[in-house]
Amino acid sequence: MRRTPAPIDLRALQAFVAVCETGSMTAAARRLGLSQSAVSQSIAALEREQGADLFDRDSRPPRPNRAGRALLELAGPLLEHAQTVSARLGAESLAGTLPLRLGCVDSFAATVGPELIRAMSGPARQITLWSGLTPGLAAQLHAREVDVVVCTQTALTDARIVEVPLFSEAFVAVVSRRWLEERAAGHAQGSTPDWRTLADELPLIRYTARSVIGQQVDRFARHLGIESPRRYEFDATDPLLSLVSAKLGFAISTPLCLWQARHYLDEIAVLPLPEGRLARREFFVLHRQGEWDGFVDETVTLTRRVLEHLIRPALVRAVPTLPDDALRQA
């Protein structure tokens, strides 16, 4: 069975072409800035790997034989293409124009994401944006399908992945404003309702357990002693708030999720939940060690600026009962 030739070594091919064009190993070595011995060894390795002699050793100076002429005809375009690829890669690397693939959880992509793209993408840097659930984004980072990830709680198993704290947000109880108004009208002497009232009188509308936020809300609800049948579950905040606004139950969500579905803010009210270890959702930036460090630093700085000067003030105006520390920088 005939052996499959090894892939062409481009440096050896360059030496072969130089010998053909200059007519000697010595002249080829001078052109390439190598020793004659290095050129001779490259040619010998090329012939060995391809399983064929490339020169007629009986002629002086050495001339390519039939196999050598065939290789010489193919070598020019191959070396030219390799040089083009190298030059383009070098130029793009120096200019910082390699496309950066950024993956974000949905609530971040829909709120902070547009501001990041607007501020950080341009002629000198192209950013493509993915959104999804934390487990899928972490898997994409490990598979090198994305370069940088903004996500929530993770269980890192790869020491090459760096986790940079970004910010945290408090879980809050969300209920229909109409439900509160109607309840107040029917309880003239009653106390102001709190989260316990909601848990006693309404079912909990949940995020699905396949999402990290769904798992976190479930743990927090159990910690608070909220026992509610699993009746309504959603991957996204929009359908969740649509049921809340329709007075079908209450939900536990976060400021960023509420801002993502802000067209419902006129229809819902927010009540604080007890503080504690399980009461907050933390965000992190993940990237490979030694890769995109500058972009990550910019992301942290810009995200904190957007939260402090854009999203927090808008949320406070729309939801005056939002806790003061609802958004907290890491």
> What pLDDT does residue 124 have?
66
- Tokens representing 122? 């341009």
> What pLDDT does residue 1 have?
44
Distance CA 50, CA 227 (A): 72
Chain-centre distance for alpha carbon 74: 41
CB 227 within 8 A of CB 196: no
DSSP secondary structure of 216-277: HHHHHHHHHT-------EESSHHHHHHHHHTTS-EEEE-HHHHHHTGGGGGGEEEEE---ST
- Tokens representing 49? 């790997």
Distance CA 217, CA 281 (A): 9
> What pLDDT does residue 214 have?
94
> CB pairs under 8 A, 24+ apart, for 3-8?
3/51, 5/49, 5/50, 5/51, 6/49, 6/50, 8/46, 8/50, 8/78
- Tokens representing 155? 């269980």
Describe the crossing of helices 66-95 and 10-22 by its angle, rounded to 10 degrees.
120
What's the one-letter identity of residue 132?
A: G
- Tokens representing 284? 């992190």
- Tokens representing 61? 């100076």
Alpha helices in the chain (DSSP H): 10-22, 25-32, 36-50, 66-95, 106-111, 113-120, 134-142, 177-186, 195-201, 212-224, 237-245, 255-260, 293-306, 312-318
- Tokens representing 37? 């011995």
> What pLDDT does residue 94 have?
45
- Reference 157, options 285, 281, 294, 286; nearest CA is 286
Spatial CB neighbours of 109, under 8 Å, sequence gap ≥ 6: 129, 130, 131
Domains and CATH numbers, the chain: 10-94 (1.10.10.10), 96-330 (3.40.190.290)
> What pLDDT does residue 95 have?
46
DSSP secondary structure of 69-98: HHHHHHHHHHHHHHHHHHHHHHHHHHHT-S
CB 157 within 8 A of CB 260: no
pLDDT tens for each residue of the chain, 330 residues long:
445 556 778 888 888 888 888 888 889 888 888 888 988 898 898 888 888 888 887 777 778 888 888 888 888 888 887 776 665 555 455 445 567 899 999 999 999 999 888 888 776 678 888 888 888 888 888 888 899 999 997 766 778 889 999 999 999 999 999 999 998 887 755 667 899 999 999 999 999 998 899 999 999 999 999 988 888 999 899 999 999 999 999 999 999 999 999 999 999 999 999 999 899 999 999 999 888 898 999 999 999 999 999 999 999 999 998 998 999 988
